[in-house]
Structure 1
Amino acid sequence: MNFNFLSPVSEAVLAHNELLSTQALGKKIKIYSKQQGFPDLEGARIAIVGVLENRNDINYIGEEFNFNEVRKSLYSLFPGNWSSTIVDLGDINKGESVEDTYFALKTILEILIPKKIIPIILGGSQDLTYSNYRAYDSLAPMVNIVNVDSKFDLGDSQKPIKNDSFVGKIILDQPYNLFNYASVGYQTYFNSQEEIDLMDKLYFEYYRLGQVSKDISLVEPVMRDANIVTIDLGCIKAAELSERQKVTPNGFDGKEICAITRYAGISNKVSSFGIYEYKPSSNDDITSMLMAQMIWYFIEGVNYRVKDDDFSDEDSYQKFITLTDDQELIFYKSNKTQRWWIEIPFLSNVNNKLKRHTLLPCMHEDYLDACNNKLPDRWFKAFQKNSV
């Protein structure tokens, strides 16, 4: 296995870890260090990987950075009642070119994901999500991405990739493996009308900041259908972050973003997770601790995953059929978790690559809407994509 791209966790972090309580999370994590070498991946469930790459940030000014403070904050927390083995694989340093870094990240993910090890990627600029996505080329026929961000990041795909245009590259670059893209927490004034129109044209999903803040549970079915979850720290309001990290006065607060990361963790499909746009500074305690808590809640979610979507056993679910105009909608409700799904009918000409999307996660409210002759929006968009 090729892990030559990785550098060990810094001595400063390890020295800090030595001073922590024996019950602290840092004492439970298998850490890549110069002294101990590379950790054994046998039995590992979660792997932390830093990526020290931000040259495709549109505001790049050439500064160096590291994740030492994030690791110190994370290690100092106490774990929950977890059974998952966690490893910290250190950092991917900047390659000679950004493409070299992309290749290194893609290569490492191609090793971890088939082993059922969920990578937690710390970035760096968010264009690294493109490399994350490309790692699935040989792993999955179709991919769903959820981007927690104030912007869609569609950008101009005709120009070189940047952290504000990586989604446009994902959509247009071959091979075409993207099935659904969902934006959570977008703010209208940061996105052009042309981008909003394109999201509609492609039947992608987008949820405004106000929608999600009003009802955070809207995020759960979206996350339940995601393979990749990517978070831009710019979606968090300035009051929650250190001075260097402040982007916008409006955004998610700390409690909301941690709830979102927990929803990502409990999703059985999420197989890679990334937090991006970290900009460290001398006054960095708040941002690093918030990132640490986001990671903590994601790991908490992973430890509470429940397999509840096997509908071959009739005793494990309830089935509901409703009629809306000319559509018969079929819903399933898990007896174990009370979570809901809706069936997406297939047309005869549909590409076989889409067949795993027959059941779409939804909410109880979607069933109630269908009972009132209203088609659920998620169902409509998925049906339209399946019909193309």
Structure 2
Amino acid sequence: MRNRNNFFIEYGTYVLVYFASYIASLADFHLLSGILLIGLAVYLFVHWSRQAGTLVELRALFTLAWVGGQGVSCLQLSRFQTDWNYLTWIAFFLVYVGFSMGYDWGLKERKMERKGLNKDGHQARKIGGCIQALAMLSVLCFFIELKQVGFVPVLSGSAYSYSAFYVAGIHYGTFCCVLIPALSVLFIEACDAWNWRKLIFLLPANAVAIVIPYICGSRFQLLFAVGFAAVVYMIINKKVKIKRMGILLGLLVLVYVALTLSRDYDQGYLNSIFEMKQENTPVLISQTYIYIANNFDNFNCMVEQLAEHSWGLRLLYPFFALTGLSLVFPELTAFPVFQTKPELTTLTMFYDAYYDFGMIGLFVVSLILGILARILITRLKRDNPVIYLFYGQMAIYLGLSFFTTWFSNPTTWIWLIITGIIYVFVGYKRKPLK
């Protein structure tokens, strides 16, 4: 078992700093409250990343996003932000403790064992076939949607046309292309020989993965595609040079900025929504801040205003949506969403867990996610490279745990189902005839 001294240092540090941040918030020392949590998140991220030997260790990513995100929100740089209810502080605490307990369940070895991928031409050909199939499916679904809605979001001149570019069911197929860059990383790693022909083979499909999210005006889908591929690359390769890390981060920033500019937002309108205390804050900074901070404030609104729990109906939304039951019985999903402002709709990953079952739901869901994260790490083997896609998706969801309700989102389950199908297809080996 893990050294008890390390256990108490890790958990004791978290409890003490978290409590100190809460006291600082009560005393209206908001900058101090936020700095304490941000510093704690960075310290624990570095601590667990070093132990695991990778920057994409799952608990390290979750800590940086969840605890660090709370710290960003605690800074209260916007005028409409208010102090959280004490129940909100308890809820956020339970989430982190529950995840950590699940992650540490039976944990004996802190160092992640990564042996890289076998060079397997047969598996590489299967992965290549999946890449081409996803690209064709995405293009087909995109043109079906285009015919139905009659416009291309990026050319419409409206910053909000992305939400209108939607055809039920078909939309999931349009964005399955976001899996292609990560699959391409696996293809390259699995190839027993690399040449320019294989590069040409990958280019059209990856162009689809970039172009479709861009012309649809979806910053998130494009960032997901690039970030997902980067995580898969980092977990496969033991040593990633700082220069390459800088290139990846710079690429993500450029993509974000380009998409923000292409959506033609009215800066005056955005500033009136964000209400930053510093009037001259650039929109790129204020928007990024609100995208992180306000999710926790929305959670606090729910804690203060929720009259009754929904007893599993919100967590089951993907089932209702994918089976069509939400159209037949709309009352199954007709629950109010508690937000600080109507325009700020992003939530946290655990919003629906609390909505359904309160504190118990938060703890159980976070405990299960911690266990699943640990299982994924122990399953990083060489026989089926697609396991890295599951790991990469979990890394993205935990690394953006402040953003949205990932596991009650139908798109998340579509991606996981597609990944599962690819996993079975790539790993299937025909038994020899007797």
Global fold match (TM > 0.5): no
| The structure with more helix, counted as a fraction of residues | 2
Q: Which has the larger radius of gyration?
A: 2
| The structure with more strand, counted as a fraction of residues | 1
Higher-RCO chain (CA-CA 8 Å, sequence separation at least 6)? 2
Q: TM-score, normalised by structure 1?
A: 0.28
Q: TM-score, normalised by structure 2?
A: 0.26
